[in-house]
Amino acid sequence: MTEAALQAVRERLPDYVAAVTTKSRAGFYTCPLCGSGTGPNKSGAFRIQGEKWRCFSCGKSGDVLDLLGEVEGLPDFRDRARRAEELFGIDGGVTTATAAPMVRRESKPKPEPSFITDEVMRASFTAYERNNFCRWLAGVFGPSKALELALAYRVGTSKHWPGAAVFWQIDEAGRVRAGKVALYEAETGRRVKRPRSMIAGVHWLLGMADRKPEPCLFGLHLAAADRSKPVAVVESEKSAIIGSGFVPGFIWMATGGVAALNRALLEPLHGRRVVLFPDLGVAGERWAEKAVELGVEVGDVLERRASAEDRAAALDVADFLLNEYFDNQTEPQK
């Protein structure tokens, strides 16, 4: 790859980051490698600075080729370069002398957001027996209840990785704003993070990375079903589904990342009782501060019941509900 082509690739860092993760208004992203907030120091802040990125949680950093290599499991530079050329439509043989003049990104009109079609989403509602997340869910709640939860939250199955699930973000108008493909372990229900974090955005997979609408809460489409119920907001899609299975007194929704919580995300819930259930540790402290700014409640059940080991492990509400269920060997609430 020539220097001109390499420079053109490096300038696409914002596009690639937008395709593989989500952004908060503060300018931070959910780390696509560690999940943000699950690293050694629990800080969970992934940020772009010029042509470089850095996660202050897992400590990894680099340029777009480094990130692409981590996300897609490409340790060899030549493989990364070929993949970048394919993704960004860049001719790696362009020389500095013949390269076209760079056009400033801000001079290009921003493409209109493109919602994912119902046909694409509904095509994923199949093969649950091969969906690792749904298989694990069936082990917790039984096949019937697990299927009920998966269909309620519009969980789909993806062919991108064998066993992967798709978590669709559907807004209050029924529009599919985004889809997150994620691979879980069928035995433990934990997300696969080795040899790399198995997460991908559907807009990116469909070649529409630059046309993503603003995100919405996962589970927002359920808000209109019962306006009398309070809304519980958690970080991960898994926690929302587990919460709904065990504590149906709330409508459970997820931000999709610790840094994604903001006023715009909660705007469709205006006038309703909203309770945040953050993970333990630094993420919980950040959400507690946000709650004051946003005028919502923070559930303190985790803080009241957590041990020192729980805090060190940064457990979330799903961990507590599952631990309590398996410890007591009781049936989930119907």
Closest CA to 287 of 317, 258, 320, 325: 258
pLDDT at 31: 80
Where residue 307 falls among pLDDT bands split at 50, 70, 90? Answer: confident
pLDDT tens track for 31-55: 877 765 444 444 446 788 888 888 8
Between 104 and 31, name the one with better pLDDT.
Answer: 31
Last residue of a domain, one of 188, 211, 234: 211
Same domain (yes/no): 92, 180: no
Asked if residue 243 belongs to a domain, the reply is yes
As a whole number of angstroms, the distance between CA 270 and CA 292 comes to: 15
pLDDT over 90 (residue 237):
yes
Domain-located, residue 179: yes
Residue 84 lies in a domain: yes
Q: What are phi and psi of 102, to 5 degrees?
A: -70, 135
268 in the same domain as 235:
yes
Residues 192 and 226 in one domain: no
Q: What is the pLDDT of residue 43?
A: 44
3-state secondary structure the chain: CCHHHHHHHHCCHHHHHHHHCCECCCCCECCCCCCCCCCCCCCCCEEEECCEEEECCCCCEECHHHHHHHHHCCCCHHHHHHHHHHHHCCCCCCCCCCCCCCCCHHHCCCCCCCCECHHHHHCCCCCHHHCHHHHHHHHHHCHHHHHHHHHHCCEEECCCCCCCEEEEEECCCCCEEEEEEECECCCCCCECCCCCCCEEEHHHHCCCHHHCCCCCCECHHHHHHCCCCCEEEECCHHHHHHHHHHCCCCEEEECCCHHHCCHHHHHHHCCCCEEECCCCCHHHHHHHHHHHHHCCEECCHHHHHCCHHHHHCCCCHHHHHHHHHHHHCCCCCC
Question: Which domain does 230 fall in, by range?
Answer: 220-328
Whether 143 and 122 map to the same domain: the answer is yes
Sole residue written with tokens 């926690």: 239
Pairing state between β 251-254 and 231-234: parallel
Q: Is residue 229 a part of any domain in this protein?
A: yes
Asked if residue 100 has pLDDT above 80, the reply is no
Domain count, the chain: 3
Q: Record the pTM.
A: 0.69
Same domain as 292, residue 253: yes
pLDDT of 68 strictly over 80: yes
In the predicted structure, residue 140 carries a pLDDT above the cut 90: yes
Say if residue 155 is in the same domain as residue 235.
Answer: no
**Confidence band (pLDDT; 50, 70, 90) for 73?**
confident
pLDDT for res 98: 40
- pLDDT of 328 reads 65
Highest mean pLDDT, choosing among 8-12, 107-111, 182-186, 276-280? 182-186
Is residue 334 situated within a structural domain?
no
In a domain, 123, yes or no: yes
Please tell me whether residues 225 and 253 are part of one structural domain.
yes
Flag whether 112 is in a domain. no
Listed in sequence order, the residues at least 6 apart from 98 whose beta carbon sits closer than 8 Å to its beta carbon are none
Of 17-26, 51-60, 292-301, least confident by mean pLDDT is 17-26
CATH number assigned to the domain comprising residue 281: 3.40.1360.10
Q: Is the dihedral of CA 194, 199, 200, 202 positive or negative?
A: positive
For position 63, which CATH number holds?
3.90.580.10
Average pLDDT, the chain: 83
pLDDT of residue 24: 57
As a whole number, mean pLDDT of residues 74-92 equals: 77
- The lowest-confidence range among 73-77, 133-137, 290-294 is 73-77
Same domain, 103 and 129: no
Can you give the pLDDT at residue 23?
A: 65
- Residue 282: its pLDDT value, please? 72
Residue finishing a domain among 107, 138, 165: 107
Least confident of 28-32, 138-142, 155-159, 315-319: 28-32
Of 107, 129, 161, the domain-final residue? 107
Residue with tokens 């409508």: 251
Does residue 129 form part of some domain?
A: yes
If asked whether residues 26 and 87 sit together in one domain, one would say: yes
Pair (228, 135) in one structural domain: no
Please say if the pLDDT value at position 241 is more than 90.
Answer: yes
Asked if residue 261 and residue 317 are part of one domain, the reply reads yes
Asked if residue 262 and residue 177 are part of one domain, the reply reads no
